[in-house]
Amino acid sequence: MQPAQKPNPEALPRLLLIDDDEVLRRTLVRYFAPTFDITAVPSAEAAIEALPKGAFDVVLSDVHLQGMSGVEFLKRLREHDLDLPVILMSGEPGLEAAISAVEYGAMRYMLKPFDLGELRNALVRAVSIRRLAVARRESLELIGHDAQAAGDRAGLIALVENAIRSLRVAWQPVVSWSRRRVVAWEALMRSKITNPDALIDSALTVGRIVELGRAMRDAVAAAGELAPPGDLHVNLHPQELLDDALYDSSTRLSRLASRVVLEITERSSLEKIPAVRDRVARLRKLGFRLALDDMGAGYAGLASFALLEPDAVKLDIALVRDVHKSPTRRRLISSLLAACKDLKCACVAEGVELPAERDTLADIGCDLFQGYLFARPDFAFPDAKF
């Protein structure tokens, strides 16, 4: 994805005009020439071609484009530029087209015949909004936020699709401290486009979490087949439990099932998933084991535990952090460890960064660790330091 190009305040704002009606195109070019530097094209294809060269500030397009739906066009445009405003024109008041276009990020919808003065005002305003959007994105980048977050639905879809195409798996070892050995590998989602949490949020917003999950599970299985010995931990969003493909015994991941532990977060509630017990049972039947992830960070702890009957729990980083300084944390983790022992459930402390954290946890009987102290996640399976 290319960063938004900076508008030049000295020059006329650049307008990309798309309409297959040549007469209208000429009229608009003539009328807007004093206000805008205009590139006029007859089709969506020509517009997509013009985009990378144009440094445009605003797009004015007919809603019915030949060879491409308006929504598809918006998606393609957002792959180039997340902040470029689009105003659509239509000859007929098709309400549905208008709603979906606006939902996908068109800024405005103008019905033909329109008042040219009103259209010019709308375009000028759009250019100002673009300047604001570009500045906001730059300031977010400056203060270190993930500014890739797209402002509208088409932008989010472009972001998620790009991320899925560039998906990679990083691996972080889970170690047994008493045995000084790697016992498992957690697969962590990485993409060049954005951080994993933002990507998951975006995918949820645009209804692509199942697609993202599938792509990740395929990538994990491909890499997992070449993994060193140990279990393979794979994160699963609760929504992925609704994906039929998860229960298909012929997928690459299913064929590795005896090695795979599916980690399900307790941050998001499992009870809302229909027939969740049945789904969990089907996964077990395929040979998968289950872990409850981020224990201590969620609200649904006990309920999720009862539903999953997990083979392992993973203590959240927030619980582990500075455990050596906090008697409360120490006591809490002790209780969790005791309960896990009763329930014959393994317990992994995540996010261990300091020798003091490790030693305190080992003292109270925790043996399975994951964290930067042992290894940072890496695309190659990294060695653990003991």
Sequence-ordered list of residues with C-beta below 8 angstroms from that of 89, at least 6 positions apart, any chain: 19, 60, 61, 62, 63, 110, 111, 112, 114, 119
Maximal CA-CA distance, the chain: 81
Closest C-alpha among 96, 105, 196, 203 to residue 157 = 203
235 contributes a contact to ligand G by CB under 6 A: yes
- Select from Mn ion, ligand G, none the partner in contact with residue 172, using the beta carbon and a kind-dependent cut-off of 5 to 8 Å: ligand G
- Select from Mn ion, ligand G, none the partner in contact with residue 148, using the beta carbon and a kind-dependent cut-off of 5 to 8 Å: none
Structure tokens at 86: 């689009």
188 contributes a contact to ligand G by CB under 6 A: yes
Give the x-and-dash track for 135-174 against ligand G (CB under 6 A).
-------------------------------------x--
Helices (H), the chain: 22-32, 44-54, 70-80, 95-103, 116-142, 153-165, 196-205, 209-224, 252-255, 276-286, 301-308, 317-320, 327-342, 355-363
379 contributes a contact to ligand G by CB under 6 A: no
Q: Which CB, 296 or 351, lies closer to ligand G?
A: 351
Q: Which of 19, 83, 294, 311 binds ligand G (CB under 6 A)?
A: 294
Q: Is 365 left (phi over 0), alpha (psi -120 to 50) or beta?
A: left
Q: Where does this chain touch ligand G (CB under 6 A) — which range of 54-62, 273-281, 299-307, 371-379?
A: 371-379
Question: Are 40 and 50 within 8 A, CB to CB?
Answer: no
Q: Which CB, 76 or 321, lies closer to ligand G?
A: 321
Considering the complex, what minimum distance in angstroms separates the CB of residue 381 from ligand G?
15
Q: Which of 85, 155, 238, 371 binds ligand G (CB under 6 A)?
A: 371
For residue 9, whether the previous peptide bond is cis, meaning omega lies within 30 degrees of 0, is no
Give the x-and-dash track for 54-93 against ligand G (CB under 6 A).
----------------------------------------
Binding site for ligand G (CB under 6 A): 172, 188, 235, 293-294, 317, 350-353, 371-372, 377
